[in-house]
A and B are shown apart, each in its own frame.
Chain A
Amino acid sequence: MSNSLTIVNGSLLDMSAQNRKSLAETFIGCDCVIIVDTSRSMDEKDSRGGLSRYEVARQELASLQKTLPGKLAVISFSTDPMFCPGGTPQYFGASTNLAKALEFAKIADVAGIRFIVISDGEPDSAEAALNAASKFRGKIDVVYVGPESRPTGRDFLARLAAQSGGTSVTADRVMELAEKTLMLLGTRQ
């Protein structure tokens, strides 16, 4: 399941190599940090073509980075977060510690950076996650990628987005994730 070694076209690491710049210098051109849930539920094979949500999310994120080279940074999280400059979210398959992921991503909360959380469900602690999100100065948008029929997770993510003035959209079981994310980024209406 792990694709940690794959370097996606247009990812920060790819652009860093292409331009012979350090990762930190490449990040100057970045606009958005995508925080991707890779907890156990993302392994559910109910997405496009019977693939797991994680697998489809991986494909959609690869497509996004190809479309917006050097503009997106990927952080994956489950129990712990991880920066994935190669553009492929690391699959963890454990719990959903969104609060810890947000605290981790806070180091990138500077002017000119926005955040998009992609998740299919409720976090380990909704209160801790909302508290962590409240400390952000940048907007946090969310893409709910769980099934439409299970509103609890979606409603929580909507609250999270609203708290920072962000937007919440749904990409049922990860399908059309790239399109929905582009919509959030304002590159597609």
Chain B
Amino acid sequence: MRLRREHRPASLTADGNGLVLVTDYNQGLVSWIKSLPVSDRKWNGTAWVIHPKHGPGVVNAVKQHMWETVTLPVVTQQVSGPQTGTLDVLYIGTCKEQPSGESVAFGWSGEAWSVIFPEAVLRSWFHIADNDPTFAESLYAVLAVERTANPEQIKKAYRMMSRQWHPDVCAEPDANEKFIRIGKAYDVLSDTNQRDKYDAGLALSATMEGNGYKRVTFRSPVRCGRITAEYLQKLSRKEVTKIVSWGDIKDGTGRVLVTSWRMGDKHFTERWIEANNE
């Protein structure tokens, strides 16, 4: 026997973060809410929290989809400008295009998916521009270094990436494949002659029309990190606008955190490893 849920009248209230909308489920209304920028809406488990600037739109959408009238409350919004801070982000998911058209990845920090990384911000930090398809899949992108990276920067990136992707500690489904690719990238980019030839090959490939590139879902090449960033505080989440630095998360004994998500698991796994190869 199916239980019929009692009708909840729609309500729109305000709290310190924004507007709190409680209604029965309605697909049209949810679609409308999801069309808002991801940093302007948040599902808190029982209600939608929405940025106050969308208040009139929320009232109209409830009327249109639910045939109910809600009153727009007065919001005393704490306006906060850009801030800079250091965040321990334990796991970063895949960038996903939102109904609003933006592509973002969520980061787990402070026991919640509370950090929003726009894809463009991640790409910029990892030097993987979307408008340079040849480079996007290059060995430089594997190590997340710039084309102009010097040998020391390449070595440092290799150490960080190989530590994070070592199949003995990383449980990501493609860890082994990635680890091999990281090693290959280092072999080529740390050898001047091979690197010169590789660069020439990249330059020739870039002259080809279309060059067979298909845009793929972007994923941060590193899953976790101690990230110093500029961000906007929105609906109790942080929307990163610029990454200033990205290092390993270390404990008091100098061990480094490696996080990965095993296929089928409901949460990522944390492993602390000795960082004795510095």
Contact = CB atoms under 8 A, between A and B. Distances in A.
Contacts of A83: 204-205, 207-208
B205 A24 contact: yes
A83 B198 CA distance: 15
Mostly helix, strand, loop or mixed at chain A's interface?
A: mixed
Interface string A95-129: 00000000010011111110000000000000000
A111 B203 contact: no
A113 B199 CA distance: 13
Interface string B116-146: 0000000000000000001001110000000
A54 interface: no
Contact of B198 (A27, A82, A85, A104): A27
Interface in A21-41: 22-28, 30
Contacts, number: 66
Contact of A22 (B138, B193, B200): B138
Contacts of A73: 204
A7 to B, nearest CB: 12
Contacts of A22: 137-138, 201, 205
A75 B208 CA distance: 11
A25 B188 contact: yes
B193 A111 contact: yes
Interface in B156-205: 184, 188, 193-194, 196-205
Nearest to A73: B204
A179 B254 CA distance: 63
Contacts of B197: 27-28, 30, 110-113
A107 B228 CA distance: 38
Given A110-B196, A112-B193, A26 B201 contact: yes
B205 A23 contact: yes
Given A83-B207, A111-B196, A28 B188 contact: yes
Nearest to B194: A28
Given A24-B138, A25-B139, A112-B193, A107 B200 contact: yes
Nearest to B135: A24
Nearest to A111: B193
B193 A24 contact: no
Interface string A44-73: 000000000000000000000000000001
Mostly helix, strand, loop or mixed at chain B's interface?
A: helix
A42 B253 CA distance: 72
Nearest to A21: B184
A25 B200 contact: no
B258 to A, nearest CB: 27
B201 A27 contact: yes
B207 A110 contact: no
A73 B207 CA distance: 14
A27 B139 contact: no
Nearest to B139: A25
Given A107-B203, A111-B193, A25 B208 contact: no
A25 B204 contact: no
B202 to A, nearest CB: 4
Contacts of A28: 188, 194, 197-198, 201
B69 to A, nearest CB: 59
A131 to B, nearest CB: 21
B200 A108 contact: yes
Given A24-B134, A30-B197, A108 B204 contact: yes
Nearest to B205: A23
A110 B138 contact: no
Contact of B201 (A23, A104, A109, A111): A23
Interface of B: 134, 137-139, 184, 188, 193-194, 196-205, 207-208
Interface of A: 22-28, 30, 73, 82-83, 85, 104, 107-113
16 contacts: A23-B205, A24-B199, A24-B201, A25-B139, A25-B184, A27-B198, A27-B200, A30-B201, A83-B204, A108-B200, A109-B200, A110-B193, A110-B197, A110-B199, A112-B197, A113-B197
Given A25-B139, A25-B188, 14 more contacts: A22-B137, A24-B202, A24-B204, A24-B205, A25-B184, A25-B198, A27-B197, A28-B197, A85-B204, A107-B200, A108-B200, A110-B200, A111-B197, A113-B200
